[in-house]
Structure 1
Amino acid sequence: MSRATSQPTSPDDVTALPRVIRPYGDQTGDGMVQVSFTLPMPNGKRAEGAALQLAGKMGIEPAIVVHHKSIGDGFTFFVVYGSVKHLVEPGLVEVVEREFPLLSGKEINAAIKRRLHRKLVVVGACIGTDAHTVGIDAILNIKGFAGEKGLEYYREIRVVNLGAQVLVPDLVERAREEKADAVLVSQVVTQRDAHIHNTQAMSAAFREAFPAGEVPLLVVGGPRFEEGSQDALGVDRIFGRGTTPGEVASYLVHALVPRHDQAQA
């Protein structure tokens, strides 16, 4: 007897997805989920009851508190496990598609050299009080990320990495001095929406300091930015968690090289 084999389907192939699904815990369709949160209450029975009350209002029922721990005076951290009745419709999920092709390092260098006839200048920084340079360094530094070399590795890209806690006026001035084609900003700190406020302030400062049509390409990245929100933030592109240097370099070529060609026409 021959055994039928099924070909793997693309994760974006909507026709191959079931119409509705539920979360999976111990068995298919049981709807089990695990959530964590902090309540401003001292650890104890009343706090556990409040956590279960919150879980019930979130649609998690029945629910159990599987972990609770004091994390300061008057605050308790909880992990709650339970079942939800909600259904998910995969076919209705909207996916933000990448609008540019991924290029090899050789293709990126060749495109810049052939069309710009100079190096593409990128200024990068973490702005405001953000001191987390892991993200910006992963994209800019030659050591790179996920097996890919950073932008410093590309011979046709000149990188100026300003590091952490850069004031927006200083970033604008340095971008002007370096004649930056693109400004890359990483924002990891998100308390009280600091990443959003910082990005909007940066965008406004650049558009005030540069004439219309001469603002450098503004690109921001970080784990908490919402895809597709670039218009609301006043930037040209947002990159989220897991972005590689090759993706950023390919985007820069896509966005800047054609723009230069048009200006020369």
Structure 2
Amino acid sequence: MPAKGAKESGGGARKATPDIIRPYGDTTGDGMVQVSFTLPVPHDKRAEGAALQLAAKMGLEPALLVHAKAMGPDFTFFVVYGSAKHLVDLREVKVVEREFPLLTPKDVNAAIKSRMRRKLVVVGACIGTDAHTVGIDAILNIKGFAGEKGLEYYREIKVVNLGAQVLVPDLVERARAEKADAVMVSQVVTQRDAHIHNTTAMSAAFREAYPAGQVPLLVVGGPRFEEGSAPKLGVDRIFGRGTTPGEVASYLVHELAQPKATQEKR
């Protein structure tokens, strides 16, 4: 029998993961990590000394400068390798678990047809100045992502993809015109927390434009959103990097095509 906490893998038992861990580089527990950053100084010996000083203040000691490259006349890009003294307690890591089952396209269509008795309407866009449509297209377009067809493939889902750089008032107006059940927004541009500001502005606009309790399901996706931050941003769901169309479709069914008794508890 395997030891308590051990997991079997293949032909043998695997050691239980300890609660307290450190980064692994050359040897177990050596704490070695690699970081990169840019400093607003020309590339010279003083710039390299500044990079090592910053690494030491970040807790990397000893630190080794492994790469330095001028980025124009006034900036230098660095890569530093060093040992971090910090420990990670896995017991304090909080993970947002998926609370709904993954459904096949056939099951998604059947659930929408039997419970809603009409097509589920999704309006999607990249808002603000964000012109990166790869994420929203991966979810909405029929070609999909990761071997899964996008929402356009589902015969019981009507998709309205507004594309890039859509103003929030225009998104609200189109969602009202289409009688959207769900609004999906992709945010890739994150400089100066643009994704946070755009999302909160979008949420506020929808809640102002719709009567209480009639706001469409607000779903946001992007690589830099924090798990569990949906309530703070005023949206219903956040999807991060690697999300597939099937996962989004299953979520929409879970939230919008449930039996009425279940929906009333929301």
What SS does structure 1 have at the residue aligned with 2:220? strand
Stretch deviating more after TM superposition (92-101 or 216-225): 92-101
Could you tell me whether the CA contact under 8 Å between 1:17 and 1:90 is conserved in 2?
Answer: no
Query: What 5-or-longer segments of structure 1 have no aligned partner?
Result: 1-5, 10-14
Any idea what SS the aligned residue of 1:235 has? Answer: coil
SS in 2 for 1:258: coil
| Residue in structure 2 matched with residue 186 of structure 1 by the alignment | 186
Contact 2:34 2:81 in 1 (8 A): yes
Higher deviation after alignment, 97-106 or 232-241: 97-106
Q: CA deviation at 1:92?
A: 2.5
**1:25 matched to 2:36:** no
SS of match in other structure, 2:53 = helix
* Residue 102 of structure 1: aligned partner: 102
> Do the aligned residues in 2 keep the contact of 1:17 with 1:91 (CA within 8 Å)?
no
Please tell me the root mean square deviation across aligned C-alpha atoms, in Å.
Answer: 1.7
Q: Which amino acid aligns with 1:134?
A: V
Once structures 1 and 2 are overlaid, which stretch shifts more, 84-93 or 170-179? 84-93
How many equivalent residue pairs?
Answer: 254
- Identify the range of structure 1 (250-259 vs 48-57) with the bigger mean alpha-carbon deviation: 250-259
Pairing of 1:224-235 with structure 2 (within 5 A)? 224-235=224-235
User: In structure 2, what is the Cα distance between the partners aligned to 1:261 and 1:41?
Assistant: 62
After superposition, what is the alpha-carbon deviation per residue over 1:39-75, rounded to whole angstroms, capped at 9, x for unaligned? 1111111111111111111110000111111223421
Matched residue SS, 1:66 = strand
Q: Unaligned regions of 5+ residues in structure 2, if any?
A: 1-6
- Provide closer, same or farther for how the CA distance between residues 263 and 189 of structure 1 changes in structure 2, counting only shifts above 3 A: closer
Contact 1:21 1:88 in 2 (8 A): yes
Cα 1:260/1:47, change in 2 over 3 Å: farther
Report the counterpart of residue 113 of structure 1 in structure 2: 113
- Secondary structure (helix, strand or coil) at the match of 1:7 reads strand
- 2:64 aligns with 64
Partners of 2:262 and 2:27 in 1: how far apart?
A: 57
Give aligned-pair identity as a percent: 80
Map 1:35-54 → 2, pairs under 5 A = 35-54=35-54
Indicate the residue corresponding to 2:141 in structure 1: 141
Instruction: Output the CA distance in 2 between the equivalents of 1:122 and 1:196.
Output: 22
Relative to structure 1, is the Cα distance of residues 200 and 103 closer, same or farther in structure 2, using a 3 angstrom cutoff?
same
1:153-206 per-position Cα deviation (integer Å, ceiling 9, x unaligned): 111100000000001010000000000000000000001111111101101111
The reply on whether 1:34 has 2:42 as its aligned counterpart is no
Q: Is the 8 A contact 1:116 1:260 kept in 2?
A: no
- 1:158 is matched with 158
Contact 2:61/2:82 (CA < 8 Å) preserved in 1?
A: yes
**TM-score scaled to structure 2, two decimals?**
0.92
Match of 1:122 in 2: 122
**Larger mean Cα displacement after TM superposition, 68-77 or 191-200:** 68-77
Q: In structure 2, how many angstroms separate the alpha carbons of the residues matched to 1:237 and 1:114?
A: 24
Q: 2:204 is aligned with what amino acid? A: A
The alpha carbon displacement at 1:30 in A equals 1.3
- Could you tell me how far apart the structure 1 residues matched to 2:148 and 2:9 are? 27
Residue 219 of structure 1 corresponds to 219
Task: Tell me how far 1:259 sits from its aligned partner.
Answer: 7.2
TM-score by length of 1: 0.92
CA contact (8 A) 2:255 2:263 kept: no
Question: Using the alignment, how far apart are the partners of 1:252 and 1:79 within structure 2?
Answer: 43
Tell me the CA shift for residue 24 of structure 1: 1.0
* Cα distance in structure 1, aligned partners of 2:137 and 2:176: 22
Structure 1 SS opposite 2:70: strand
Decide whether the 8 Å contact of 1:145 with 1:245 is kept in 2.
yes
